[in-house]
Structures are given as C-alpha cells and as structure tokens.
Amino acid sequence: MIKKIPIEDLKPGMEVVRVAKEMWYHLPYLYADPGIIESEEEVARLQDLGYREVFVAVDEEGDESDDTRLSQFAAAREDAPERPARVPFQQAISSAMVTYEDAMAHAMRIVHDAKLGRKMDYAASLETAGAIVESAVSNPDTLICLAKLSEFDDYTYTHCINVAAISVVFGEYIGMSREELVLLGVAGMMHDLGKTTVPARIINKPGPLTSAERDEVRRHPEYGHDLLRRNSDIPAKVLKAVLHHHERYNGSGYPESLLRKDIPAFARILCLADVYDALTSDRCYKNAILPNKALGIMYGMRDQDFDPTEVQLFIKCLGIFPAGSFVRLNTGEYALVFESNSREPLNPKIRIIMDADMKPIRTRDVDLTQRVDRGKAIEILECADPSTYRRTLMNYLAPN
C-alpha cells in the first residue's frame, strides 16, 4: 500500500516509492527519489532542503472508516440515475477512435490559437466535447483505452484530451447530466491552456526548475483563466474549473489555497483526472506509472489532496485494472483489459494477446467473472510494463 505522509513523519527504514516526474506540477514540495531512508540525518537533510511530503510504501492495514466510506459511495452510485445499456466494446471502438482523433486535432487548434492570442472557438469546443460525451455514454472503456494506448506523441495535446475524456467518464459514472458533461469536457480540454503563456524554456526544461521557475509554472491556472475570460461565451463554470484545478482538499493547492468546501465540483473532478493522467503518462514512455499503482498512489493522497469519498469513487469508476491495462495472467500469458467491472474489480474482460514469452498469439476474449478459460482457472496476477509494446498494443483492440 502507498501513502503520502508529511516529511517530518519519515523514518529510517521507510521506502520512498517512485512517482512520475510530472508530479511536481501537482505537489511542488514532494520528495520523490525512490529508495530506503537510511538515517535520521537523511530525513533532517530533506527537511532542510524544503521538502514537505513524500510517498512511502506501508504495510496493508484495516481501516474501518474507509470501509464505511466505500459502502457509502457504493450506495450513492446505486442511487444515481440508471445508465443506458452499453454498446459492446468492439462496436463502439471505431467511433471512439474517430472522436479521439478529432478531439486531438481540435486541441492542436485551440493551443495554437492561445499561443497567438486568438479568441477560442467555443462552438467547436462544445461540439468536440459533445462527441466525447457520446462516446462515454456509449462505452466509457473505449475512451479510457484510447487515453492510455493511443500513439500521439505530443503530451501537450494528449494530456488535454485525456483529462477531458477521463473527467467525462467519471462525471457520467456519478450521474451528471449531459449538459454538465459537455461543459466538463470543455473545461478538461482547456484546463492547461495557461501553460502556453509560460516560457517554453521553462515548460521544456529537462532538469529541475528553480524556485522562480516553479512559481511561474504555478501561475498557469490564472493565465488560462485570463485567456478564456476574454471570450464572453465561455460559462463561469468552465472558467472556475480552469482556475481551480490545482486546488487541494486540505487547502495546500494553488492559486487560492481553497479548502474542499470552496473548490468547485468541476475543478475537483479535473484534479483527479489530471493527476491520474500525469501519473500514467510520460512524453518518452519511460517513467509512466502502471495504472493500478497510480490509483494506489492517489488512494494514498486521500484526506490530503483529494476528498476521500471522491477519490475512492474515482478508483471504483476506473477499476482496479483500468481499461487499457497490460496484465500478466496466472497462465503465464499476457492480456489487455478492455472492459472494467465495477462490481467485481478484479475480474474485468480481457483480450489475451501474448504467450509467456511475450510472443503474439491468436487473440481470444475472456470474461474473468467466469474465472475459467479452456478449462483452466484464470486470474490477473499483476499489471505488466507496456513500454516495449505501447506503440502496438492498441492494434489488438482496434476493429478488424
């Protein structure tokens, strides 16, 4: 189990876990060099350097309050409006791929317009967000797969669309109306436009940023808000979501250090999607965190960065093994998860694609709720590192 703790609670013998390099955007005072803490002197040195928090591996422990919360939001989900029947993944993926590619093209246009100081095309953004909502309603797992397995290289654009898609999937899961989902999708696409105002030498700097450079990056929500409010068509709900998507449950966020009760709902949802995509993405496909581990890290941020109920509901929405996860089975084979299962999170639908030597085989689909394949009991052992195959994995899920 992974938990975020204050740096002063760090003790010799604790193991600091690795997180994605982009996490400093969200937690600028996070110490993130993985390894075992050797001494009290090392802890004191980290405190002197200004670090305030750290992710560590801790033993599994019962938490009655969290079990109670889990029951509460399971019940809340049951009380949400009934969702329409899903279109089967293989039928829905074709239109979802078109939607995702069109959204990427739109993201490129709005980022380009922002860099040139042009007015945002809000009508086109509404249309793009509407298409994302339709995909989410049709089959949300298609969008989650595309967010993790698509072959677009530029993180600037993919992150905007991934955050929009993941936010809409979560919003649909908790029962938001279609009108709300469209605005949430627009906010997701536009949440990081303020980074176009930050000098490229800072955004693209390969090494650690100076304190002044970090302060400049932390102004991007305000820059984005200022860019967007020039367009009178954009609703206040979207503007506030862009401005506050880096606020935190305990008031440690920016730009206004708001507490949970004052953070708009859209901003809280964007925050969850933003952190998840940052953890599971990397511009060079080298430092991405595996999806299940990323969700474990986010669970460790409950009560501090995230509302505990909301982050657990987010995890329940995506599943223990989110769609798009590359997994190793007890048979030795490898598979892709293509449909999560909120009722039985350990038993999603999978497509077996490789043998134990990671050689491609004739694919076959298995519903793990049946727990048997070809007469053998089958289960997921762990998420596997997809970095070697990331460029080709989507081909296994694409329509024939």
Residue 249, Cα to own-chain centre: how many angstroms?
Answer: 17
- The answer to whether residue 22 scores a pLDDT higher than 90 is no
Residue 67 lies inside a defined structural domain of this protein: no
Task: Report the phi/psi class of residue 187: left, alpha or beta, with left for phi > 0 and alpha for psi in -120 to 50.
Answer: alpha
Nearest to 125 by CA among 106, 111, 97: 106
Of 79-93, 315-329, 365-379, the one with minimum mean pLDDT is: 79-93
CB under 8 Å to 378, separation ≥6 — which residues? 329, 330, 331, 366, 368, 371, 372
Answer whether 358's CB lies under 8 Å from 393's CB: no
Mean pLDDT of the chain: 85
Residues 6 or more apart in contact with residue 192 via CB below 8 angstroms: 156, 159, 160, 163, 220, 224
**In the prediction, which pLDDT does 389 show?**
72
Kindly report, residue by residue over 125-181, the tens digit of the pLDDT.
999 999 999 999 999 999 999 998 886 657 778 899 999 999 999 999 998 999 999
Strand order in the sheet with 334-339: 360-367, 349-354, 334-339, 326-329, 380-383
Q: For residue 4, is pLDDT > 90?
A: no
Helix (H) or strand (E) holding 36: strand 35-36
* Residue percentage of the chain with pLDDT more than 90: 53
- Residue 31: count of CB within 10 angstroms of its CB: 19
Q: Does 262 lie in the same domain as 308?
A: yes
Top-ranked range on mean pLDDT: pick from 65-79, 284-298, 377-391: 377-391
Instruction: Give start and end residues of each alpha helix (H) in the chain.
Output: 40-48, 64-79, 89-115, 122-138, 140-149, 155-173, 178-190, 200-203, 211-217, 220-228, 236-244, 265-280, 291-299, 308-318, 390-397
The mean pLDDT of 225-247, rounded to a whole number, is 94
Q: Which of 289, 318, 347 is the last residue of a domain?
A: 318
pTM over 0.85: no
Same-domain status, 311 and 374: no
Q: Please indicate, yes or no, if residue 21 is contained in any of the structural domains.
A: yes
Answer yes or no: do 101 and 173 share one domain. yes
Using CA atoms, how far residue 347 sits from 142, 320, 341, 343, in Å, is 18, 9, 6, 9
Q: Is residue 84 part of a domain?
A: no
**pLDDT confidence tier of residue 49, bands split at 50, 70 and 90:** confident
Give the confidence band of 398 by pLDDT, cuts at 50, 70, 90: confident
Domain that holds residue 141: 89-318
When pLDDT is cut at 50, 70 and 90, the band that residue 249 belongs to is very high
Question: What amino acid occupies position 170?
Answer: F
379, part of any domain: yes
Q: Is the pLDDT of residue 295 over 50?
A: yes
Residue 255 has pLDDT above 50, yes or no: yes
Q: Is residue 178 domain-shared with residue 39, that is, in the same domain?
A: no
Say if 129 falls within a structural domain. Answer: yes
- Backbone φ and ψ of 373, nearest 5°: -140, 120
Domain finish residue from 271, 286, 318: 318
Question: What integer is the mean pLDDT of 328-356?
Answer: 92
Query: What confidence score (pLDDT) does residue 282 get?
Result: 65
CB–CB of 317/176 below 8 Å?
A: no
Domain count, the chain: 3
| Shared domain check, 279 and 159 | yes
Q: At 149, is the secondary structure helix, strand, or coil?
A: helix
Position 277 scores a pLDDT of: 92
Residues 132, 21 share a domain: no
Q: Please state whether 117 falls in left (phi above 0), alpha (psi between -120 and 50) or beta.
A: left
Whether 15 and 141 map to the same domain: the answer is no
Q: Strand 53-57 to strand 30-31: parallel, antiparallel, or no bridges (unpaired)?
A: parallel
Does 74 reside within a domain?
no
Residue 25 pLDDT class (50, 70, 90 cuts): low
301 and 284 co-located in one domain: yes
- Which tokens in the block code for residue 44? 């004191």
Three-state SS for 175? coil
Whether 43 and 111 share a structural domain? no
CA distance 109 to 63: 47
- Assess whether 32 and 102 both reside in one domain: no
Going by C-alpha positions, the residue among 217, 167, 215, 180 that lies closest to residue 196 is 217
Return the minimum-mean-pLDDT range out of 80-84, 191-195, 288-292, 360-364. Answer: 80-84
In a shared domain, residues 142 and 287: yes
Q: What would the mean pLDDT of 339-367 be, rounded to a whole number?
A: 91
Which one is predicted more confidently, 392 or 282? 392
Q: What are φ and ψ of residue 266, in 5° steps?
A: -60, -40
Amino acid occupying residue 282: D
Distances (CA, A) of 118 to 7, 115, 186, 198, 358: 44, 8, 17, 16, 49
Tell whether 182 and 236 lie within a shared domain. Answer: yes
27 vs 47, more confident: 47
pLDDT confidence band for 24 (50 / 70 / 90) = low
Integer angstrom CA distances of residue 234 from 194, 354, 382: 15, 47, 44
